[in-house]
Homo-oligomer: A and B are copies of this chain.
Amino acid sequence: MKLALIGCGLLGGSVAAAWRRAGRISEVVAYDRDPARLGQGLARGIVDHAAASAAEAMRGADVIVLATPVGAMAALFAELARHAHADAVITDVGSTKAGVIAQASAALGARSARFVPAHPIAGGALPGVEHASADLFAERWVVLTPQDDTDAGALQWVESSWRESGATVERMSAPEHDRIFAAVSHLPHLLAFALVDLIAAQPDGARKLQFAGAGFRDFSRIAASDPVMWRDVALANGPALGAELAAFRRQLDAVQAAVDRGDGEALRQLFERASRVRREQRFGAAISEGYGD
C-alpha cells in the first residue's frame, strides 16, 4: 500500500509512522509547501519519496491523507479530483468536519464516497515532523464522521488503520463532532487567545504579566497554539463555534450581574457546580494531552 501524505507536520508524519508500523502501508510519498519539512521527513525515515507537487504525490497512491490546516483542503480536493486514482482511499486529520465534507462533495461529486473524514484528537507539546511519533495516537480518540454514502470498504480500511495504531475510534455525525469540539476545544482556545491578548495589551499589561499565577499561565500555554491553524478552525467551524461563544457570553452576562450586585450565593453555586466536574471524573478514558488539538 502506497500512502500519499499531503502536509508533512507533526500529525501527518505521525500518521505515516503509525500506519507503517502497524503494517497498513509500506511506502510513503509526501508533499509539503515547505521543502524543509520534506527533508526532515526523509531524514527521519518517515517519508520515502518527496514529491514536487501535491498532484505528483497523489498519482498512483492507494491512500491519500490530507494533513494540512483545514483552510488548505478545498484546493487539495480539486487536485484530488484530477489526479487521484478512482479507487484511492482518501482521508484527513482536520479539526472540523462539516465544512471539509462539503468541500469534498463539491470537488469530488460521487467520488467523495471514497473520502473518510477523520479527526485524531492528538497533538504534542512540540510541532513539526521532527517530533512525529508512531506512538502519538496510543489511547487517544480518533473521531470518524462518515456520510450515508461513504464507501464501506474505505471506511473499514481507515478505521482498522487507526485501531491498529492504538487509537480508540468513535463514529459520530459531522454536525455532532463540530458541536462537541466547538465546546470542549475550539471555545477554550478562543477564550485563552482573547484573555491573554486583552491583558498583555493593557497599559499596565507588562506589570500584570509579571505576577501571572498558575491559572493565567495555563491560559497562555493554550494561547501559544498555532495562529493559522486556529484561524482556519474558527472559520471552518464558524456556526457551531459562534453558537457556543454566544452561549458563553450569555453565561458571562449573568456572572457580571452577580459580581456587580455582590450576589455571593449565585457565585458560590456556580463555582460549586463547576468544581464538581473534575472531582467527579466526568471525562472520557481516552484522552488528549496534547496542545493545539
B282 near A200 with CB under 8 A, answer: yes
Of A206, A216, A228, A251, the most chain B CB neighbours within 10 A belong to: A216
Complex alpha-carbon distance, A175 and B262, angstroms: 19
Q: Oligomeric state, in number of copies?
A: 2
Complex alpha-carbon distance, A197 and B264, angstroms: 16
Give A285's nearest chain B residue, CB to CB: B210
Complex alpha-carbon distance, A207 and B293, angstroms: 18
B222 near A215 with CB under 8 A, answer: yes
Decide yes or no whether A259 CB sits under 8 A from chain B: yes
Candidates B180, B202, B211; contact of A181 at CB < 8 Å:
B211
Candidates B201, B230, B235, B293; contact of A213 at CB < 8 Å:
B293
Decide yes or no whether A241 CB sits under 8 A from chain B: yes
* Residue numbers in B under 8 Å from A219 (CB-CB): 188, 218
* Residue numbers in B under 8 Å from A230 (CB-CB): 267, 271
Decide yes or no whether A247 CB sits under 8 A from chain B: yes
B282 near A259 with CB under 8 A, answer: no
Decide yes or no whether A106 CB sits under 8 A from chain B: no
Q: A210-B283, A256-B249 are in contact. Are A270 and B123 (CB under 8 A)?
A: no
A193 near B242 with CB under 8 A, answer: no
A214 near B274 with CB under 8 A, answer: no
A227 near B275 with CB under 8 A, answer: yes
Between A and B, 18 residue pairs with Cβ closer than 8 Å are A187-B195, A188-B219, A193-B271, A194-B270, A194-B274, A195-B251, A196-B278, A211-B284, A212-B283, A213-B293, A214-B289, A223-B277, A225-B271, A231-B267, A238-B262, A242-B259, A245-B259, A248-B252
